[in-house]
Amino acid sequence: MKRASIVTIGNEILSGQTVDTNAAYLSGNLLSIGIPVVSSYTVGDDVDLIAQGLERACNDGDVVLATGGLGPTDDDLTRQAMARFLGTELQFHDELLKKIRQFFVRRNVKMSTKNRVQAYLPAGTRALPNHVGTAPGIMAEVKGKLVFALPGVPCEMQEMFEQAVLDRLKALAAEQAIVVRKLRCFGTGESNIAELIGPFMQRGRNPLVNCTTDCGVITLHIIAASKDKSQALEVARTEEESLRNVLGDLIYGTDDQTLAEVVGQRLGRQKKTLAVAESCTGGVLAKLITDVPGASRYFTHGWVTYSNPAKIMELGVDASLIDKYGSVSEQVALAMARGARKRAQADFAIGITGIAGPAGGTEQKPVGLVYIGVDSDGGTETKRFIMSGDRGSIRLRAAKNALNILRLTLHI
Amino acid sequence: MKRASIVTIGNEILSGQTVDTNAAYLSGNLLSIGIPVVSSYTVGDDVDLIAQGLERACNDGDVVLATGGLGPTDDDLTRQAMARFLGTELQFHDELLKKIRQFFVRRNVKMSTKNRVQAYLPAGTRALPNHVGTAPGIMAEVKGKLVFALPGVPCEMQEMFEQAVLDRLKALAAEQAIVVRKLRCFGTGESNIAELIGPFMQRGRNPLVNCTTDCGVITLHIIAASKDKSQALEVARTEEESLRNVLGDLIYGTDDQTLAEVVGQRLGRQKKTLAVAESCTGGVLAKLITDVPGASRYFTHGWVTYSNPAKIMELGVDASLIDKYGSVSEQVALAMARGARKRAQADFAIGITGIAGPAGGTEQKPVGLVYIGVDSDGGTETKRFIMSGDRGSIRLRAAKNALNILRLTLHI
End-of-domain residue from the set B254, B271, B301: B254
Same domain for B281 and B330, yes or no, is yes
Residue B35's pLDDT is 86
> What average pLDDT does this structure show over A194-222?
79
Which among A228, A254, A280 is the end of a domain?
A254
Rounded Cα–Cα distance for residues A157 and B224 (Å): 31
- Whole-number pLDDT of residue B203: 67
In A, residues 331-370, which contact B (CB 8 Å cutoff)?
A: 343-344, 356-359
Domain hosting A304: range is 259-411
Lowest model confidence (mean pLDDT) among A359-363, A382-386, B31-35, B282-286: B31-35
In this prediction, residues A106-133 reach a mean pLDDT of 90
| Distance to chain B for A24, nearest Cα, Å | 4
Q: Which residue does chain A place closest to B299, by CA atoms? A: A306
Three-state SS sequence of chain B = CCCEEEEEECHHHHCCCCCCHHHHHHHHHHHHCCCCEEEEEEECCCHHHHHHHHHHHHHHCCEEEEECCCCCCCCCCHHHHHHHHHCCCEEECHHHHHHHHHHHHHHCCCCCHHHHHHHEEECCCEEECCCCCCCCEEEEEECCEEEEEECCCHHHHHHHHHHHHHHHHHHHHCCCEEEEEEEEECCCCHHHHHHHCHHHHCCCCCCEEEEEEECCEEEEEEEEEECCHHHHHHHHHHHHHHHHHHHHHHEEEECCCCHHHHHHHHHHHCCCCEEEEECCCCCHHHHHHHCCCCHHHCEEEEEEECCHHHHHHHHCCCHHHHHHHCCCCHHHHHHHHHHHHHHHCCCEEEEEEECCCCCCCCCCCCCCEEEEEEEECCEEEEEEEECCCCHHHHHHHHHHHHHHHHHHHHHC
Residues of A in Cβ contact (< 8 Å) with B278: 283, 286
* Contact check, Cβ <8 Å, A71/B16: no
End position of a domain, from candidates B140, B173, B206: B173
Taking residue B320's Cβ as centre, other Cβ atoms within 10 Å add up to 8
Q: Contacts of residue B202 in chain A, CB cutoff 8 Å?
A: 74
Contacts of B309 in chain A (CB under 8 A): 300
Q: What is the pLDDT of residues B146-192, one digit of tens each?
A: 999 999 888 889 999 999 999 899 888 877 777 888 899 999 988 88
Is residue A131's pLDDT more than 90?
Answer: no
- Confidence at residue B171, expressed as pLDDT on a 0 to 100 scale: 84
| Partner-chain residue, chosen from A41, A109, A287, that has the shortest CB–CB distance to B282 | A287
Note whether A12 contacts B212, CB cutoff 8 Å.
Answer: yes
A255-270 mean pLDDT: 95
Is the predicted pLDDT of residue A408 greater than 70, yes or no? yes
Of the candidates A106, A282, A294, which has its C-beta nearest B286's C-beta? A282
**B85 and B205 part of one domain:** no
Q: Is A192 on the interface with B (CB under 8 A)?
A: no
Structural domain count, chain B: 3
The residue-averaged pLDDT of A59-67 equals 95
Query: Residues of B with CB below 8 A from A114's CB?
Result: 191, 194-195
Overall pTM surpassing 0.90 (yes/no): no
In this prediction, residue B66 carries a pLDDT of 97
Which CATH number goes with the domain that contains B323?
A: 3.90.950.20
% of chain A residues with pLDDT over 90:
67
Cβ distance of A15 and B210 shorter than 8 Å = yes
d(CA A151, CA A68): 5
The enclosing domain of B72 has a CATH number of 3.40.980.10
DSSP-derived secondary structure for A181-226:
EEEEE-SS-HHHHHHHTGGGG-TT-SSEEEEEEETTEEEEEEEEEE
Contacts of B15 in chain A (CB under 8 A): 27-28, 31, 36-37, 210
Give the closest of A44, A114, A310 to B191, CB-based: A114
Mean pLDDT of chain A, nearest integer: 91
Q: Which is more confidently placed, A81 or A14?
A: A81
Give the pLDDT score at A316. Answer: 97
Interfacial B residues in 251-290 facing A (CB < 8 Å): 276, 278, 281-287, 289-290
pLDDT per residue as tens digits for the range A72-101: 988 899 999 999 999 999 999 999 999 999
B108 has a chain A CB within 8 A of its CB: no
Contact flag A40-B214 (C-beta cutoff 8 Å): no
pLDDT band at A203 (very low <50, low <70, confident <90, very high): low
Task: Let me know whether A338 and A192 are in one domain.
Answer: no
Residues of B with CB below 8 A from A212's CB?
A: 16-17
CA–CA–CA angle A130, A135, A139 (5° rounding) = 75
Q: Do A54 and A163 lie in a common domain?
A: yes
User: A265 with A249, same domain?
Assistant: no
Q: Do B39 and A39 touch (CB under 8 A)?
A: no
B100/chain A closest Cα distance in angstroms: 24
Q: Can you give the pLDDT at residue A305?
A: 97
Of residues A11 and B92, the one with the higher pLDDT is B92
Asked whether the beta carbons of residue B310 and residue A344 sit closer than 8 angstroms, the reply is yes
Q: What's the average model confidence in pLDDT over A334-352?
A: 98
Q: Is pLDDT of A103 > 80?
A: yes
Q: What is the mean pLDDT of chain B?
A: 91
Give the rounded percent of residues in chain B with a pLDDT score beyond 90.
67
- Split at pLDDT 50, 70, 90, the class of A373 is very high
- Percent of chain A scoring above 70 in pLDDT: 97
Residues A319, A390, single domain; the answer is yes
Identify whether residues A44 and A103 lie together within a single domain. yes
Question: pLDDT class for B366, splitting at 50, 70, 90?
Answer: very high
Residues of chain B with C-beta less than 8 angstroms from the C-beta of A11: 210
**pLDDT(A17) > 70:** no
Higher pLDDT among residues B113 and B222, named by residue: B222
Predicted local distance difference test score (pLDDT) of residue B364: 92
Give B17's pLDDT tier (boundaries 50, 70, 90): low
Quote the minimal CA–CA distance from A73 to chain B in Å.
6
Query: Percent of chain B, pLDDT > 70?
Result: 99
Range B127-144 average pLDDT: 90
Chain A residues closer than 8 Å to B39 by CB: 14, 41-44, 49
Are A232 and A121 members of one domain? no
Q: Is the pLDDT of residue A412 over 80?
A: no
Please indicate, yes or no, whether residues A37 and A143 belong to a single structural domain of this protein. Answer: yes
Please report the residues numbered 369 through 408 in chain B whose beta carbons come closer than 8 angstroms to any beta carbon of chain A.
Answer: 386, 388-393, 395
Q: Are residues B228 and B312 in the same domain?
A: no
- Other CB atoms closer than 10 Å to residue B89's CB: what's the count? 12
Co-location of B106 and B12 in the same domain: yes
B221 and chain A in contact, CB less than 8 A: yes
Which residue of A lies nearest to B199 if distances are taken between CA atoms? Answer: A74
* CB nearest B214 (choices: A71, A153, A300): A153
A132 vs B219, B301, B390: nearest CB? B390
Residue B412: its pLDDT value, please?
55
Residues A77 and A104 in one domain: yes
Instruction: Give the number of A-B residue pairs with CB atoms closer than 8 Å.
Output: 294
* Closest residue in chain B to residue A309, using alpha carbons only: B300
How confident is residue B208, by pLDDT bands cut at 50, 70 and 90? confident
Tell me, what CATH number does A217's domain have?
3.30.70.2860
